Amino acid sequence: MSESHTPVFRRAVVALAGEPGDERIVRLVSELARPIHGELAAVHVVEVGWSLPLDADIAGRSEEVQRILDNAESVAEESKVRLESVLLQARDVGAALVDEATERQADLLVLGLPYRKRFGGDFAIGRTIPYVLKNAPCAVWVVREPIPEDQP
């Protein structure tokens, strides 16, 4: 029996959170995209509070935001994959990611999940990932960071 190698995706949106796990997920998706010449968009969403107008230039002057996008481009470049970096300002990160995936007709949306515990020891997943899992028009991969070695 012959084995078929169907591409996992043609277009992927990778969510960047400015966390250490960003590099891991960009590298993972880049390595998968290279042999199939997949299209990648790395998206960083800056959440704008309701007290400010949505078009307030919050992220445009931020060196931290530019560093996040530049790092993603560098990681993809190491894998010899073209990656478009996108900066968005929105009221809600999850909704912005779903909208971007829809607009790009993405087959895949990838998010990182840092390993965090709230007070009391419960594992915290936040509100963005549940929103994306419920509303994304495509496959969603959640890549959780390893449990830190100093955790019990």
Q: Domain limits of the chain?
A: 11-144
Rg (C-alpha) for the chain, rounded Å, is 16
Cα-Cα end-to-end distance for the chain: 46
Distance CA 95, CA 135 (A): 8
CA dihedral of 101, 104, 105, 110, whole degrees rounded to 10: -40
User: Between these two residues, 111 and 145, which has the higher pLDDT value?
Assistant: 111
- Among 50-54, 83-87, 97-101, the least confident range: 50-54
pLDDT band at 1 (very low <50, low <70, confident <90, very high): very low
Give the pLDDT mean for 122-136: 89
Residues 6+ apart with CB under 8 A from 17: 44, 111, 112, 114
CATH number of 11-144: 3.40.50.620
| 15-55 pLDDT tens trace | 999 988 899 999 999 999 999 999 999 999 988 877 666 67
Report CA-CA distances (Å) from 144 to 14, 24, 119, 129, 138.
14, 10, 19, 11, 19
